[in-house]
Structure 1
Amino acid sequence: MKRLYPDIGSYASGYLETDEEHSLYYEESGNPAGLPILYLHGGPGAGLSPNYRRFFDANHYRIVAFEQRGCGRSRPFGSLKNNTTADTLRDIQRLRQHLQIDSWVVFGGSWGATLALLSAMDKPEAVKGIILRGVFLGREEDRDWFLSPKGGGATLFPEHYDIFIDGIPPPLSTDVICQWYSQQFDQPDEVRRLSALKRWYVWEERLSRLALPPGTGDITAHYPVSLMTSLAKLECHYLTHHCFVPEDYILSNIDKISHIPGTIVHGRYDVICKTEAAYSLHKLWGNSELQIVPDAGHSTSEPGIGLALCRASRDMNRFLQEKKT
């Protein structure tokens, strides 16, 4: 365990060894005696953003986060071996036990929202509350919304979709696109491999917000190779295997978490994750609150999304403290 910034109290990082060859980077910060909360990043493959802690009051929360298999500072980087949803769910419980946490709040966005829901269904006794952003349910229609020729992205951004699918033989489908990109990512030719990684990354970047800052979401822009590699390879890997989850598993098993309080934050114009998914989840999950942000897409960098998440974490802490008393 490496301790940093001792002047502000609790901030530590370390590595969690798994039963396989993976070694997972994790961090703790905030109040060691506070309400434990697990931050689950998206992607798969995105890693931890530098400012993820901004959603939590460090005076009240013990903030835990880790980088999932194959991405960020976890090792081996970019590895797809023993990298499935079931592996990640085991990692979540392994980390909780390693930190001697009986139960916590789980907080996740996009793919992190999928993991938050699945981990709560896996071990409901270990979850006090759930906060979600940009719900992704892993269904065929959710994957198609992101990648297929009739999906939200292709419909709203046809000129960018043409760049994304260039060279892929028809007939196009989500599975065909994933299989083609998977082959490109394994190309020995570095130029072709990096070109494919960048095209996948830029497609995701282009869809992430209503309005992108200048220089982002452009195929000619420069992006870190490491981030392009982990995001593209792992997203494609998981989508190729239908997220390693049975079709409609989450909605079909919502009764497992019906007693757990939750908040769902979703941008009205989210082109990566369907707003319908958040609404369908809320309708079946009676203990949830749905907040559709009217002027936002998918990203936490959009002001309305960020504000809603800060409020959600504040209100969750208040609710659970009142429940204790």
Structure 2
Amino acid sequence: MISKNDATGQGPWRRQRDLDLGAPHRMAWHLGGNPDGEPWLLLHGGPGSGANLSLLAPLDLRRQRAIAPDQRGSGASRPRGSTLRNHTAALVSDLEALRRHLGLERWSLLAGSWGTVLALAYAQAHPQRVQRLVLRGAFALSRREIGGLLQGAASGKTLSVPGAVWPASRSVALPALLARLRQLLQSGTPAVAGLRAARRWALLESRAAARGMWRALLGAGPVVAGARPVWAAQRRRERRLAAGFRRRGNRSDRTDQALRRKFRIQSHYLLHRGFVRPGGLDRAVRAVALAGVSVDWVHGAFDAVCPPQNSRRWQAQMERLAPGLSSLTFTRAGHLGHEPKTLAALREKVGRS
């Protein structure tokens, strides 16, 4: 975990800035590290999560510059939780507006999970502006990934939670489920059902991440140094979420408000499959390879959210098109970027000249 005071003497996050994207949207973004250092654009997952300090962990803030926006409607960007004119093409346009605002010729991108979709979309649209990509836990927007979290995993005994906010059975069509969740979460005056939907989604998400961590801990060989504290912290988060699920709703509760906003954005994007046409990610990988943009793929071998096969397939595709332009690293870890082996791999990839 990065403290509020790092080697720069200014803290990893300096004052939050805002960029006008045209009414009604304003994008919040943060700067960190060395103002004259190698620029890195950090893209958060979610969708809907917002930037946080853990995104900085792979960087050397003494020689690298971190630029971390909250994607449209996410985090501190305004209007918070808004899905109006919120789609992947708009997010790509927002990032390019930020680059121009900063006066940067090129930057490198570090992204994880949903952020890898946005990173590939940006690099496809603006390859001349991308130095290189480091992509962790690549997300394919597949039915297996989305349904596995919201339907299949939810029906397992270890992932059961109280309440019947939505059915766990795979007999319910995934688009219908996502449409129902989006409807529940769109309300400006949140009802109990919407509140419980957001809490349940957060709990399922946390437990899926924990499942990958646990499988990594049980893997062959000695326990990875530092893995047990990370696992313990994840379990504490899961217990808090489980306890919170049973609390009575409070419209002014900031945690509940943040969850509703996050999953409002997420249900919007997942319902529309990330606003990416079928085969779109394959085409983006192809375009990136043919443009000569290098990509380092890093993936937890026990990732229970985004299958490791995603990174394996796309790295193989790149290798066929542009041999030697990409690399693939599997780590003894689950989905999260701060798990020790994954974090070490990211630091190695980000740190190379």
TM-score between both structures, scaled by the size of structure 2: 0.80
**1:163–1:307 CA distance, 2 compared to 1 (3 A):** farther
- Residue in 2 that maps onto 1:168: 167
Report whether the alignment pairs 1:305 with 2:306: no
- Residue in 2 that maps onto 1:196: 197
Show the 5 A alignment for 1:122-137.
Answer: 122-137=125-140
Q: For 2:68 and 2:163, how far apart are their aligned partners in 1? A: 32
Show the 5 A alignment for 1:195-234.
Answer: 195-209=196-210, 210-211=213-214, 212=231, 213=233, 214-218=235-239, 219-222=241-244, 224-234=255-265
Structure 1 residues not aligned, in runs of 5+:
319-325
**1:79–1:253 CA distance, 2 compared to 1 (3 A):** closer
Alpha-carbon RMSD across the aligned residues, in angstroms, is 2.5
**1:193–1:284 CA distance, 2 compared to 1 (3 A):** same
CA contact (8 A) 1:203 1:217 kept: no
**1:192–1:241 CA distance, 2 compared to 1 (3 A):** same
- Residue in 1 that maps onto 2:295: 262
State the Cα distance separating 1:207 from its structure 2 match: 0.9
Structure 2 residue aligned with 1:241, among 252, 268, 272?
A: 272
CA contact (8 A) 1:182 1:233 kept: yes
- Residue in 2 that maps onto 1:323: none
Q: What SS is found at the alignment partner of 1:215?
A: helix
State the Cα distance separating 1:164 from its structure 2 match: 8.3
Q: For 1:168 and 1:145, how far apart are their aligned partners in 2? A: 13
Q: For 1:165 and 1:173, how far apart are their aligned partners in 2? A: 16
Report whether the alignment pairs 1:146 with 2:146: no
State the Cα distance separating 1:181 from its structure 2 match: 1.1
* Counterpart code for 2:313: S
Q: For 1:42 and 1:24, how far apart are their aligned partners in 2? A: 16
Report whether the alignment pairs 1:276 with 2:334: no
- Residue in 2 that maps onto 1:291: 329
Report whether the alignment pairs 1:252 with 2:283: yes
CA contact (8 A) 1:282 1:288 kept: yes
- Residue in 1 that maps onto 2:225: none
CA contact (8 A) 2:120 2:284 kept: no
Q: What SS is found at the alignment partner of 2:132?
A: strand
CA contact (8 A) 2:49 2:262 kept: yes
State the Cα distance separating 1:107 from its structure 2 match: 0.8
Q: What SS is found at the alignment partner of 1:290?
A: strand
Percent of aligned pairs with the same amino acid: 27
**1:161–1:250 CA distance, 2 compared to 1 (3 A):** farther
Report whether the alignment pairs 1:25 with 2:28: yes
Q: For 1:138 and 1:8, how far apart are their aligned partners in 2? A: 38
Show the 5 A alignment for 1:52-67.
Answer: 52-67=55-70
Q: For 2:190 and 2:263, how far apart are their aligned partners in 1? A: 17
**1:141–1:246 CA distance, 2 compared to 1 (3 A):** farther
State the Cα distance separating 1:33 from its structure 2 match: 2.0
* Counterpart code for 2:31: E
**1:9–1:193 CA distance, 2 compared to 1 (3 A):** closer
CA contact (8 A) 1:165 1:177 kept: no
State the Cα distance separating 1:217 from its structure 2 match: 2.5
- Residue in 2 that maps onto 1:322: none
Q: What SS is found at the alignment partner of 2:236?
A: coil
CA contact (8 A) 1:160 1:203 kept: yes
Report whether the alignment pairs 1:41 with 2:29: no
Structure 2 residues not aligned, in runs of 5+:
215-230, 245-253, 320-324
State the Cα distance separating 1:310 from its structure 2 match: 1.1
